[in-house]
Structure formats: C-alpha cells, structure tokens
Amino acid sequence: MNQDAYNAYSHKTSSDQLVEVAKIAAPYKNRPEMLMSVVIQVQRKVRALSEDVAAVIAREMGIPQTNVYSFITFYAMLSVKPRGKYIIRMCESAPCHVRGAKEIVRALEKMLNIKMGETTEDGRFTLEYCPCLGICDISPAIMINHETYGNLTPGSVTQLIKRYIREDV
C-alpha cells in the first residue's frame, strides 16, 4: 500500500463510534454473508470505513481484516477515506454524456471550488463520478446521497447546490 492510500485508510474514528460499529457487527459472528449489510449500516454512522472500523468489524464477525478491506475497496459506494456529508454523484455514462453532462460537471466544480473526486474543506460536499444512475429519461442526472435530480442545466444545478448549502433540503 503506498503512503497516500495508507493515510486515507488511517482516518481515526472516535471510540464511541467504534462501540456503535461493534453493536452493528456483533450479531453476525461467523456469518460472512452479512458483511455487505453490516458495512452499509456502518457507513451511515461513521465518516469512513477506515482501518480502525475494519478492525472492529473483522473482530466482531470473525473474518480476517484483510477480507474486510478487500471487500470495501471493491465496491464504488463504500469508502475507506472520509467523504462529505453530501456525496454528489454525477452520472458518467453515455446517456448523460450526450445530454451535456460535461457542462454540469463544470458547473458543480465551479460552484464548490473542488474537482471531481475531491471533498470540500468543510467536509460537507464530495464530488464523484458514478456509472449510470438508471434514470436516463431525465438525463443529465445526479444523485445527492439518496435523492436523484434530472433534466439539469448548469443554471439549475447551481440553484440546487445552493439549496444544499443553505440546508434547505
């Protein structure tokens, strides 16, 4: 693991939160098939599925910690490094691409003053690409946490992000 990757994995989680993680994972000792369900629940509670979190999950479920790391890093929506409170996912697939996705990306990057893949300094927003969101009838589309928004223009997406900045959502 290179230094950057390690630094990302080493995000510290508070002991209170680790207790919560243990509570989520403990009922599934020796039930490796519950790993997906556990990490999805855990990710709602912690900022990152980092090393200390993975260690607790591994211990409580009785599976090797390397398996937990390998699992988390396989799936795009699970993250070992901290992400923002709002994760803005921009569809990168062809149906959005041919409907002006690039201009939406530019507007998002300008509005939040970060590049795709980055998180704002205040930890509120992360910009990410994702594959097709499955809402191509309203492309170009984005998903912010679990909410989807479509038929976007640079103007409308800017207004939308303003609402999130004001917590008017």
Partner 1 sequence: MEEMRILLRNKDKINPTSAQDYIQTGGYEALRKALSMDGQEIIDTLKAAGLRGRGGAGFPTHMKMQFAKNAEDDVKYVVCNADEGEPGTNKDRVLLTTDPNSVFEGMAIAAKAIGAHKGFIYLRAEYPYVFPILKEAIENARAARCLGDDILGSGFSFDIEIHSGAGAYVCGEETALFESIEGHRGEPRYRPPFPGTKGLFGKPTLLNNVETLANFAPILRNGPDWFRKIGSEGSPGTKLFTICGNVNHRGVYEFPMGVNLKEIIYDVCGGIAEGKGLLAVQTGGSSGAIINATQIDLPLDIDHVSASGGRLGCGTILVIDDTNCIVDIVRNNLDFFRSESCGQCTPCREGGTHLYELICKICDGKGTLRDMDTIVDLANTMRITALCGLGHSTAVPVLTSLQNFREVYESHLDGDYCPVCGKDWGN
Q: Write out the residues near partner 1 by the rule CB under 8 A.
A: 32-37, 39-40, 63, 67, 70-71, 74-78, 92-95, 97-99, 102, 106, 130-139, 143, 146, 148
- Tokens found for residue 43: 């990710």
Between 63 and 160, CB nearer to partner 1: 63
Do residues 80 and 72 touch, judged by C-beta distance below 8 A? Answer: yes
Nearest distance, CB of residue 98 and partner 1, angstroms = 5
Which residue type sits at 74? F
Between 61 and 161, CB nearer to partner 1: 61
How far is 121 from 131, CA to CA, in rounded Å? 25
Between 55 and 130, CB nearer to partner 1: 130
SS3 64: coil
Nearest distance, CB of residue 124 and partner 1, angstroms = 20
Which residue type sits at 124? R
Between 35 and 127, CB nearer to partner 1: 35
Which residue type sits at 96? C
Do residues 87 and 131 touch, judged by C-beta distance below 8 A? Answer: no
Nearest distance, CB of residue 33 and partner 1, angstroms = 4
Nearest distance, CB of residue 16 and partner 1, angstroms = 25
Q: Which residue has the tokens 């009922």?
A: 27
